[in-house]
C-alpha cells in the first residue's frame, strides 16, 4: 500500500512537471543582458561573472551602471553610506515566456529574491529571468537599478524615473519591515497582499490602506507596529500617484499566487519521501 501511495505521488509530480516544461524550455531562449557595476576591479568582475554563470561576456549585451545612477534613485530611500562610492552590484537578465519573474541571488545580504520580484513587478518588468550578484556580500539595493536598466534595453521600453523610485521605495520598505519582524518572507507577503488590494481599488482611502495592511499582517501571523504600518501606508500612497498599469499588475500578482500554490504542491509531494 505504501509503495502504491508513493507511485501515485511520483506520477502526480511527473504530470505537474510535464505541465510546466513549456515555460521552462522557453525561459532558456532570448538574448541575455548584463548590467555590470562600473567600478568592479578585474578580480571582482571575474568573481561576479562566475556567480552569474557567464563564460564569455561578448555573448551578451553589456551595459554599465554607475555610482551616480545608484545615488540618483536610491538617495531618498537608502543611507548614502550603504550605497557607497563604488557601483558593484551586477545583474544578468534573460527574456522568458509569460509574465513570471524568476530571481536568483548571490552575495546579497539585505534583499531577498521575493523583494526583488515584488519591486520589479511594480516597475512593470515581466517575462524575465534575473540573476543578481556581488563580488562579496553587499546589500543589493543598487542591483534593482541595474535590473531595470537592463530590462529597458532588453524590452525596448522606458521605465519612468518615478516608477523606478517607487520600486526602490517598495524594496527598502519591505526590507525595513522584514527586519522589524525578523521575517522578510512575511514582509514580502504583506506588501504583496496590500498591492493586490490596491490593484483591485487604486483609489483606496488612507483608512482602507491601513485596514488592508493590518489584515495582511494578521493573515501572515503578525501584529505590526504603528511605525511599520505608517511606512507601508506611505509607500502605497506613493504608488497611487504613479503611472502604473494596475490591471496588468493585478494579473501578475494572481499568477504569483498560482506559482506559490505550485511550490506548495511540490513541497507536499516531497514530504512523502522524508
What's the pLDDT tens digit per position in 147-202? 999 999 888 889 999 999 999 999 999 999 999 999 999 999 999 999 999 999 99
Distance of alpha carbon 162 from alpha carbon 166, whole angstroms = 6
For 25-67, what is each residue's pLDDT tens digit?
222 333 589 999 999 999 999 999 999 999 888 889 999 999 9
136 domain-assigned? yes
The verdict on 154 and 168 lying in the same domain is no
What's the pLDDT at 83?
Answer: 85
The reply to whether 81 and 173 lie within a common domain is no
On average, the pLDDT of the chain sits at: 81
pLDDT of residue 254: 60
Note whether 123 and 183 are same-domain residues.
Answer: no
69 within some domain: yes
Write out pLDDT tens, residues 82-109: 788 999 989 999 988 888 899 999 999 8
Residue range(s) defining the domain that contains residue 241: 164-271
**Are residues 169 and 135 part of one domain?**
no
Domain tally, the chain: 2
Asked if 68 and 182 sit in the same domain, the reply is no
Note whether 46 and 101 are same-domain residues.
yes
Is 108 domain-assigned?
A: yes
Same domain, 48 and 88: yes
What pLDDT sits at residue 255? Answer: 56
Whether 232 is in a domain gets the answer yes
Domain final residue, candidates 111, 139, 158:
158
pLDDT at position 250, please? Answer: 66
End residue of a domain, out of 133, 158, 183: 158
State whether 219 and 118 are in the same domain: no
Select from 94, 128, 158 the last residue of a domain. 158
Q: What is the pLDDT of residues 60-78, one digit of tens each?
A: 999 999 999 999 999 988 8
**Whether 111 and 181 share a structural domain:** no
Q: How far apart are CA 46 and CA 42, in angstroms?
A: 6
Model pLDDT, residue 253: 60
pLDDT in tens, 116-145: 999 999 898 989 999 999 999 998 888 999
Tell me: do 235 and 250 sit in the same domain.
yes
In this model, does residue 110 exceed pLDDT 50?
Answer: yes
pLDDT of residue 244: 82
Tell me whether residue 51 is in a domain: yes
Q: Do 58 and 73 lie in a common domain? A: yes
Residue 229 lies in a domain: yes
Could you tell me if 37 and 148 lie in one domain?
A: yes
18 is a domain residue:
no
Encode pLDDT of 194-233 as tens digits.
Answer: 999 999 999 999 999 999 999 999 999 999 999 999 999 9
In a domain, 226, yes or no: yes
Q: Output the pLDDT for position 57.
A: 86
Amino acid at each position: 500500500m505504501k509503495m502504491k501511495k508513493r507511485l501515485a505521488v511520483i506520477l502526480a509530480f511527473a504530470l505537474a512537471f510535464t505541465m510546466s516544461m513549456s515555460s521552462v524550455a522557453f525561459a532558456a531562449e532570448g538574448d541575455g543582458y548584463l548590467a555590470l557595476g562600473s567600478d568592479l576591479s578585474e578580480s571582482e568582475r571575474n568573481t561576479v561573472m562566475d556567480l552569474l554563470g557567464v563564460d564569455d561576456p561578448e555573448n551578451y549585451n553589456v551595459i554599465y551602471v554607475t555610482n551616480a545612477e545608484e545615488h540618483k534613485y536610491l538617495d531618498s530611500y537608502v543611507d548614502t553610506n550603504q550605497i557607497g562610492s563604488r557601483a558593484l552590484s551586477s545583474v544578468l537578465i534573460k527574456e522568458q515566456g509569460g509574465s513570471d519573474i524568476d530571481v536568483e541571488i548571490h552575495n546579497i545580504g539585505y534583499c531577498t529574491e521575493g523583494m526583488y520580484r515584488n519591486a520589479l513587478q511594480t516597475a512593470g518588468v515581466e517575462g524575465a529571468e534575473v540573476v543578481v550578484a556581488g563580488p562579496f556580500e553587499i546589500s543589493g539595493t543598487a542591483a534593482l537599478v541595474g535590473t531595470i536598466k537592463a530590462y529597458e534595453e532588453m524590452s525596448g521600453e522606458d521605465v519612468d524615473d518615478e516608477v523606478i523610485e517607487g520600486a526602490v521605495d517598495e524594496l527598502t520598505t519591505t526590507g525595513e519591515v522584514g527586519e522589524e519582524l525578523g521575517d522578510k518572507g512575511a514582509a514580502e507577503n504583506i506588501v504583496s497582499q496590500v498591492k493586490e488590494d490596491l490593484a483591485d481599488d487604486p483609489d483606496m482611502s488612507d483608512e482602507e490602506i491601513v485596514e488592508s495592511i493590518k489584515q495582511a499582517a494578521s493573515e501572515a501571523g503578525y501584529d505590526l507596529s504603528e511605525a511599520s504600518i505608517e511606512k507601508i501606508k506611505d509607500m502605497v500612497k506613493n504608488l497611487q500617484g504613479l503611472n502604473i498599469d494596475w490591471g496588468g499588475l493585478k494579473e501578475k500578482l494572481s499568477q504569483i499566487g498560482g506559482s506559490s500554490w505550485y511550490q506548495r504542491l511540490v513541497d507536499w509531494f516531497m514530504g512523502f519521501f522524508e
